[in-house]
Chain A
Amino acid sequence: MSESYEYLFKFLVIGSAGTGKSSLLNNFIGNKFKEDRCHTIGVEFGSKIVNIGGKSTKLQIWDTAGQERFRSVTRSYYRGAAGALLVYDITSRDSFNALSNWLRDARTLASPNIVILLVGNKKDMEESREVTFTEASQFAQENELMFLETSAKTGENVEEAFLKCSKTILAKIETGELDPERIGSGIQYGTGTSKRLSAPKKPARSPSDCACHV
């Protein structure tokens, strides 16, 4: 349609129930914050075109339900995600403790190259904080994740989270670490024809990478 973009990234937002995943997504795509939001049922979806390093990139974001009973439904959406926001609630120790499980799911079900950004949400509720920035940073470092603390309520760092993750993906494409051509990479070339023309160049440059995947 009218929108044109160079890349399309499939994104996941995962994490325990009630950590504010949907609020993050809604904030990002420009909806208002709702104080009393229902639990997500199954999977919801949002998309936004952002500009990353001069390249317009469409983010196709799947906002998954955090509740355990939806695991089987949501897992089927992990496939081929290029990036993920792994969300916990800084006021909930439990949500932080569950991170390892979510991380394992993401790495096994999505592509192993998935770029994951750890998000400590509800930054605005400092007074009921249960997880310190330092320990979360440490967790991120140990698991090779990027890390940001956000507030979907105030909007602080929300856009940054998505952008930072996208930038990393883009950087990986440019270094050849990620191959958009590979099925299940979670990356697609955009709609513009001019971009399509530029697409064939990429695989030519990185045949060795292809071999790596096998």
Chain B
Amino acid sequence: MQSDFVNNSANISLQLPTMLSEEGMENRRGPPGVNSRSLSIAHSAADLEVLREIENVYFHPPSEFDAGRYVLEHAPASSCDDIERMFAKLKRQQQVVSGKALHLISQQRDTCDREFKEIQNIREQLSTTLQTCQRARVQLRAASNHLTISTFVILANFRKRQIIRSVLKSLELLRSLRSVEKDVAELLLKKEYFEAIELILKSKKAASSHKEYTCIADLATRLQDTLDMTEEKLDSVLASICYNFDENTFRKLRKAYALLGKTQAAMEQLHMHYSSAVNESSIEAVKNYVGDCTDMKFQEMCQSVQANKAPICLLNLCENLFLIMRSYYLLVDWHSKHDEEESIPISSNVFEIEKNVSREYIRQKLKAGLVRIWNDVQAKVSTFLKSSGLEEYPFEKFIQMLGVLRKLTQVAEVFCGDKSDLLQDFIKTQSVLYIKNYHRGRMEELKLFLENEGWEQCPVKSTFNLLYLQEFKQFKKYLNIRSDTSLLKTHSDGASSVHSQEDSVYIAKYFKQNTNHTPFEIFRNENITNDDIFGLEPELVSDDSEDDEPDELKRDFVDENDRLEPNESPSKVKDSVIVTNTTLSVLRHCGQYLQICRYLPQISLEVVMLMNQLFDYYFFTVHLFFTADLDVASSTLYSSKLNSVLKRIKNNIDTENSGVVDGKIPSPDPPQHLNFTSEENLHGLSERIVAVESVIFLAKQYEILQPYLESIVAQHQRMILEHFKDNTLAVVQDLRVPVYMCSASKSVDARTALIAMSQVKWDVKNVAVEHSAYVDMIIRKIQVFALRLENVSNKVTLNIEVLNSIWSMVSKFIVHLLVEGFSNATKCSNGGRGLMQLDYRQLFLKLEKISGLKPVPFQDYVDKYVKAYYLPRKGLEDFVLERVEYSNKHLMALVTCACENKKDRQALSVIIEGRDAAV
């Protein structure tokens, strides 16, 4: 029980300190409960006293102080009273304390309640706070969760995306790499060379930077292949430039090559292409005209071109080559333009310097290339010409060929300023060869014509001259018959130099881009005239003011009347034109020769010489055919000039017809169809007249040409022409003498006449009144001749000149006949001499009447001879010495008759015989 108490008191005391901690504090200075609250309670001071008496020790907290123990220790061991007292005291104290405590507790209850409430409140608040905190924490946690993790995911995703994107890019790149080939091909198709190269190079770079992708491992090599192939393609485009220079293409190519760093190499390559293009297109041009041309060299191909295809083949060749030249020309042109545009100022930059050097190199290369290509072209054309059988070209084609070559030389002049001496020389030698060959053909034809010639007069107008021939149409303005030569010179001198300048402008036109035309096109035109080809005097047609002339040129030089009225007296005919079919053809040949000259002024002299040869041959033939039957002594019939002309011509003619003498023209075969034996037609007199007069006419036509010919040959060559004029053309009239003599000498039969004369007695004493009988006989014969001549004039228009020359031949024949007859008289008296005079005077009187010749020529011959009889000794000696026209026989007879003195006779005989030695 005690322990319970103790425990109780302990428990209370235990609780007190804490409850009374505030009080306790106060109580340390004063007794607890001595404050206002304790006062209000009417308890008592006793209680207070009790309280005061409580030892301080009990106020110690139970943990430090064991109240029971303390009491037991301090309990008085002596008496129970003491213990009782103490107990009581303690009990009291406890009661007081408990009361006090209770009091205090009740006193403090409200406060406690309040505090408790407060505490409750706080607790509640705390719990809300806690909740808030918790919630906040939850939310914070959520927030934190949300915020932190998604950011990282975002970042992570972003990074992933980046990676994927780059992978994708690479993949796309790779995919594009895969299609590079296709794209390049497309670009190439679009001619975007630069872009193609760029693409490849980029791709290559990309490929090498993406080596890690195994899928494109061999793409790199493929790209290299593509590059190679593209370069090849570029090369082929470059090659195509040779055939047709296209500025745009070339610019693109150049850019592409620049990208490849191969500008210079490309230029080298291009030059190679040009070389091979010249080759290729030469072969291309010729190929079509050669059957099987596999494994054939160009030259062999040229040789196997058919002759008739050669001209068109040449044209193709030139055209093809021109295209290449034009392409090159444009290339050079382009470069020179661009050099100006791009010219870089001199700079110290190494790269720039290098670029400049390269540019300079290319410039030099291009400049040299012009000449080189032209030489290539020239070589090709020459090869073709050499092996194409040029000599066999027909005339028109040859002219055309010359035109083509001329054009080519003009092209060359524009192209590279080359005068093409090589080609010019070639043209010249070939032309000479051609013209000689052509001439040979013409000569053969002329021979044929002459051999077949009927020597009929061709019916042409009496005003006809060579200008009426179409072949001379172009020369009309140079060949004004009445004009002075000064006019001619200005024309011809101007022609060559002026044209070349115009030509170059004209040709340059074809070197422009954007033209599909070539200067050779005109040759394809069927209706092209040679003047068109040579660009000669295009104004010619308009120049021709006489509009009706051309018509006449064409056909109307032929006489509309079938024949001149037969009843017209020949002596009245002034201008008769006697031409044969052959004369016309010779003239036409001349026209063609002159046309050649126009186009080949450098071989004019050669051509003119050949023209003269045509004349010579005609001349020679007439002489050969129509003097073959000349049966009188010819010495006095041939003038010295005529002799020398015939001799000169004969030297060039193979009169033996051996056929072995090279370079000589075969002599024409005498015609079988001409009748020279019929007296009826005066032994072919009409043919003889036509022949001789046609030669004379021909000579006149040549003379008309002379001023023009002189104008086309070089100054120093004119002498040759003049010589021909003076010594050949001027001599043709002399041909009348021997030819007409052939007929004239048959007018009177010499044998009969001489016999008749020999029957006359010349030693008569008296001068006779009547002329001798033979005179009448001769006159009768002459009358017959005159009648037959009249018949001839029905066939041939005889002009007075012809008639006169025929009659003078008759007269010449007669005087010779008379002298011959007189010289046969061994005995002659004065009377006889008189009779002679009487006879021939009578004869000439009649002859004068019949022939219309006044006086009859050659009378002197017989007159002098007869009258020499009367000369004194000295005079006779002089006569014998000087008169070489009489034969020795004539003079001997004269001396025999004239000199009665035997000594004189002998002396003169000696002189006569000595004459031969002296001459």
Contacts and interface: CB of A to CB of B under 8 A. Distances in A.
Interface of A: 1, 30-32, 38-39, 41-45, 60, 62, 67-70, 72-73, 75-77, 79-80, 183-184
B454 A45 contact: no
Interface in B443-462: 444-445, 448-449, 452-459
Please indicate which of the listed interface residues A42, A44, A67 has the most CB atoms of chain B within 10 Å of its own CB.
A42
B367 interface: no
Nearest to B659: A191
B526 interface: yes
A73 B448 contact: no
A76 B560 CA distance: 21
A60 B457 CA distance: 23
B457 to A, nearest CB: 8
A43 B449 CA distance: 9
Interface residues of B, number: 32
B868 to A, nearest CB: 49
Contacts of A31: 394
A76 B394 CA distance: 29
A73 B581 contact: yes
A37 to B, nearest CB: 10
A30 B581 contact: no
24 contacts: A1-B444, A32-B526, A38-B554, A38-B555, A41-B584, A45-B445, A60-B448, A62-B452, A67-B558, A69-B558, A69-B560, A69-B561, A69-B562, A69-B563, A70-B458, A70-B459, A72-B456, A73-B456, A73-B580, A75-B454, A75-B456, A76-B454, A77-B452, A184-B672
Contacts of A62: 452
A95 B448 CA distance: 30
A57 to B, nearest CB: 17
Contacts of B580: 42, 73
B783 interface: no
B555 A39 contact: yes
A49 to B, nearest CB: 13
Contacts of A183: 672
Please indicate which of the listed interface residues B308, B457, B459, B563 has the most CB atoms of chain A within 10 Å of its own CB.
B459
Contacts of A69: 459, 558-563
B673 interface: yes
A39 B308 CA distance: 27
B470 A38 contact: yes
A68 B562 contact: yes
Given A38-B470, A76-B454, A45 B555 contact: no
B470 A73 contact: no
Nearest to A64: B581
Contacts of B459: 69-70, 73
B558 to A, nearest CB: 6
B673 A30 contact: no
Given A32-B526, A41-B584, A76 B555 contact: no
A60 B444 CA distance: 12
Contacts of A45: 445, 448-449, 585
Please indicate which of the listed interface residues B454, B457, B470, B560 has the most CB atoms of chain A within 10 Å of its own CB.
B454
A60 B451 CA distance: 13
Given A75-B454, A77-B454, A42 B584 contact: yes
Contacts of A67: 558
Please indicate which of the listed interface residues B444, B455, B562, B581 has the most CB atoms of chain A within 10 Å of its own CB.
B581
A157 to B, nearest CB: 22
A183 B673 CA distance: 11
A26 B281 CA distance: 35
Contacts of B554: 38
A73 B445 contact: no
A41 B459 CA distance: 9
B454 A73 contact: yes
Contacts of A30: 308
Contacts of A75: 454, 456
Contacts of A39: 555, 558
B584 to A, nearest CB: 6
Contacts of A1: 440, 444
A79 B454 CA distance: 10
Interface in B831-886: none
Nearest to B459: A69
A67 B459 CA distance: 11
Nearest to A46: B445
A149 B713 CA distance: 51
A73 B458 contact: yes
Interface string B269-287: 0000000000000000000
Contacts of B308: 30
Nearest to A43: B581
Contacts of B672: 183-184
A6 B753 CA distance: 53
Contact of B581 (A32, A42, A184): A42
Given A69-B561, A72-B795, A76-B454, 13 more contacts: A38-B554, A42-B458, A42-B584, A45-B585, A69-B558, A69-B562, A70-B458, A70-B459, A73-B459, A73-B580, A75-B454, A76-B673, A184-B672
A17 to B, nearest CB: 11
A214 to B, nearest CB: 18
Contacts of B457: 72-73
Going nearest first, the 3 A-B pairs with the smallest beta carbon separation are: A76-B454, A42-B581, A73-B456
Interface in B393-445: 394, 440, 444-445
Contacts of B470: 38
A3 B227 CA distance: 62
Interface in B790-825: 795
A72 B797 CA distance: 14
Contacts of B394: 31
